[in-house]
């Protein structure tokens, strides 16, 4: 027989008290686990969204706004500089971006790493309706807009194909297979995009080359989206390299915005965890109460054990073992309850995102619960160990 066997037998004898303590620990752990699990799933969803965000960088012509003044009065402002980029800048952007990635990540592969997708925005008309047509490089555009789905039809496959945004299609009464005359040029609607809530809903997408040619604008583009085909790419650095290396352009790291969102999410998670910690603290006092009551109940037993040869250290060890057992039970119970709670409320909080279990939180739950039980047991256990044998045995008579 060992000390642990005595502890377990004693716990089995006091099932109600033990359950009370386990419940107290579980509640605290449940809150923490539920919050962590929901937060984790939220972050995962946000990260996935980030992965699919599309461009890491947006390159636009470098323009500046200048205030127009007359006799000390500001008369408005004018845009200074080119509003379109020459297509010749595209290979430059590709080269600078690739070089920056290679240098930072130690890649020796000479092939293209970044996807460079130019767009040319032009005002046009369909019948008597004004529209905006975006000329795109079909291959590159599709590689960046991975989230595009089609309400009907398919993607651009010929030089006179267009894809129409959801709202634009509704507004113009267009559907796939139809022919449409845009500013004097006949296109065939290849497909209609599903609604995405972005500007794409209002645009008509035509092949860049066709648009450049039919509009008479020549080889120019309005913006260039750049997406690096790597995770953890040094977006900031690429933007800096582009701005420094190519005159007349301005590169912005788009992902920064999303990263800031992620940072906000982390901040929220910290606040939520703080609230959970308060719950844990309340649980701690509950367990401390239960432990104190348990010690009071066992005063006689502790006295007997001390009288028949138990040292103070052995009495403390017995309480520590009990605390660990309570911690394991409370931790596992809390984990399961927390997971169920997260699965129930998570989709409501995250707008339908399913919560996935994080099994690596099991050691955290058990460890945390064990720690709480230990802290809760410490004071009563010390009191029990210090108890005078004569008093303990006498008061029990």
Among 43, 300, 345, 356, binds another protein (CB under 8 A): 300
SS3 call for 123: strand
Minimum CB–partner distance for residue 316 and another protein (Å): 12
- Tally of CA atoms within 13 A in the half-sphere of 5 that contains its CB: 2
Among 314, 343, 364, 371, binds another protein (CB under 8 A): 314
Residue 305 found at the interface with another protein (CB under 8 A): yes
Taking alpha carbons only, the member of 27, 14, 91, 40 closest to residue 336 is: 27
Cα–Cα dist 227/107, whole Å: 17
Cα–Cα dist 291/180, whole Å: 80
Contact between 89 and 219 (Cβ < 8 Å):
no
How many C-beta neighbours within 10 Å does residue 121 have? 17
Cα–Cα dist 208/215, whole Å: 10
Taking alpha carbons only, the member of 121, 120, 133, 221 closest to residue 182 is: 133
Minimum CB–partner distance for residue 327 and another protein (Å): 21
Size of the site for another protein (CB under 8 A): 30
Contact between 291 and 21 (Cβ < 8 Å):
yes
Residue 16 found at the interface with another protein (CB under 8 A): no
Residue 311 found at the interface with another protein (CB under 8 A): yes
Using the minimum distance from each CB to another protein, give the nearer residue, 9 or 266: 9
Using the minimum distance from each CB to another protein, give the nearer residue, 227 or 306: 306
Residue 295 found at the interface with another protein (CB under 8 A): no
Minimum CB–partner distance for residue 288 and another protein (Å): 23
Residue 388 found at the interface with another protein (CB under 8 A): yes
CA end-to-end distance (rounded Å), the chain = 28
Among 71, 308, 351, 360, binds another protein (CB under 8 A): 308
269, containing H or E segment: helix 255-297
Stretch of 6-14, 44-52, 247-255, 263-271 contacting another protein, by CB under 8 A = 6-14
Residue 129 found at the interface with another protein (CB under 8 A): no
Q: Hey, what are 181's tokens?
A: 């005359």
Residue 307 found at the interface with another protein (CB under 8 A): yes
Stretch of 134-142, 168-176, 253-261, 311-319 contacting another protein, by CB under 8 A = 311-319
Minimum CB–partner distance for residue 380 and another protein (Å): 18
Cα–Cα dist 241/176, whole Å: 42
Using the minimum distance from each CB to another protein, give the nearer residue, 167 or 382: 382
Name, in order, each residue with C-beta under 8 angstroms of 211's C-beta and a sequence gap of 6 or more: 120, 122, 133, 135, 217
Using the minimum distance from each CB to another protein, give the nearer residue, 5 or 271: 5
Residue 394 found at the interface with another protein (CB under 8 A): yes
Query: What is the binding site for another protein (CB under 8 A)?
Result: 1-3, 5-6, 9-10, 12-13, 300-301, 303-314, 388-390, 393-394, 396-397
């Amino acid at each position: 027989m060992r000390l642990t066997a005595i502890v377990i037998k004693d716990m089995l004898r006091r099932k109600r008290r033990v359950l009370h303590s386990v419940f107290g620990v579980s509640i605290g752990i449940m809150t923490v686990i539920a919050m962590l699990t929901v937060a984790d799933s939220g972050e995962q969803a946000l990260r996935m969204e980030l992965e699919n965000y599309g461009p890491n960088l947006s390159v636009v012509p470098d323009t500046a706004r200048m205030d127009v003044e007359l006799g000390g009065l500001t008369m408005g402002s004018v845009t200074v500089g080119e509003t379109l980029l020459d297509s010749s800048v595209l290979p430059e952007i590709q080269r600078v971006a690739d070089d920056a990635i290679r240098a930072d990540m130690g890649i020796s592969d000479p092939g293209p790493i970044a996807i460079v997708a130019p767009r040319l925005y032009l005002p046009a008309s369909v019948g008597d309706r004004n529209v905006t047509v975006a000329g795109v490089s079909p291959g590159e555009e599709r590689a960046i807009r991975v989230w595009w789905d089609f309400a009907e039809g398919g993607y651009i496959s010929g030089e006179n194909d267009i894809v129409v945004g959801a709202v634009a299609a509704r507004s113009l009464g267009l559907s796939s297979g139809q022919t449409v005359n845009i500013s004097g040029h006949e296109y065939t609607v290849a497909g209609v995009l599903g609604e995405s809530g972005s500007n794409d809903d209002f645009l008509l997408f035509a092949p860049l080359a066709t648009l450049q040619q039919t509009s008479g604008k020549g080889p120019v583009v309005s913006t260039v989206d750049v997406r690096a085909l790597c995770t953890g790419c040094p977006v900031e650095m690429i933007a800096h390299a582009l701005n420094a290396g190519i005159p007349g352009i301005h590169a912005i790291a788009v992902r920064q915005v999303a990263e800031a969102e992620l940072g906000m999410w982390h901040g929220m998670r910290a606040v939520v965890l703080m609230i959970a910690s308060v719950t844990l603290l309340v649980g701690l006092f509950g367990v401390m109460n239960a432990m104190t009551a348990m010690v009071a109940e066992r005063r006689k037993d502790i006295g007997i054990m001390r009288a028949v040869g138990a040292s103070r250290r052995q009495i403390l060890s017995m309480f520590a073992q009990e605390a660990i057992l309570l911690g394991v039970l409370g931790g596992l119970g809390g984990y399961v309850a927390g997971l169920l709670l997260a699965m129930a409320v998570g989709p409501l909080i995250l707008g339908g995102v399913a919560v996935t279990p994080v099994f690596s939180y099991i050691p955290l739950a058990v460890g945390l619960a064990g720690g709480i039980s230990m802290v809760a047991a410490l004071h009563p256990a010390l009191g029990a160990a210090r108890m005078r044998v004569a008093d303990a045995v006498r008061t029990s008579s």
